[in-house]
Amino acid sequence: MVKFVESEGEWMELMEQSKEKLVVVDFTASWCGPCRMVAPEFEKMSKEFPNVIFVKVDVDAQQGIMQECGINCMPTFQYYKGGVKVDEVVGANVQSLRAKVQSLA
């Protein structure tokens, strides 16, 4: 299941959880066509990898998080372990997204 981050407080809590598990963050926007295209695959991966936390951040609603993470385009997928970003995939490339999850999980 994919969870939406609704506040900076939730973001901080999520980074705390990433000390135990890989966290994959989809920085997205409702108006972004490629974001909508990759969304079903992101949801599918969340079921395939139950030990990985999958979340979405709406860049329009959470601009502080977007700026803190250095997001310049959507979709951008960032991977966190131990509260630290360990990798990033920019664009709606499902194969790259899946490969990174498999290698880091």
- Is the pLDDT at 18 greater than 90? The verdict is no
Q: What is the DSSP string of 1-57?
A: -EEE--SHHHHHHHHHHTTTS-EEEEEE-TT-HHHHHHHHHHHHHHHH-TTSEEEEE
Per-residue model confidence (pLDDT) at position 20:
83
- Is the pLDDT at 14 greater than 90? The verdict is no
Query: Is 32 noted as a catalytic residue in this protein?
Result: yes
Q: Using one digit for the tens of pLDDT, what is the confidence trace for 48-80?
A: 999 999 999 999 999 999 999 999 999 999 999
Domain ranges (residues) in the chain: 2-104
Query: Is 69 noted as a catalytic residue in this protein?
Result: no
Q: How far apart are CA 44 and CA 39, in angstroms?
A: 9
Give the pTM.
0.94
Name the fold adopted by 2-104: Glutaredoxin (3.40.30)
Segment 11-17 long-range contacts (CB within 8 Å, at least 24 positions apart): 11/57, 11/62, 11/65, 14/53, 14/55, 15/80, 15/83, 16/83, 17/53
Mean per-residue pLDDT of the chain: 94
Question: Active-site residue among 5, 14, 32, 71?
Answer: 32
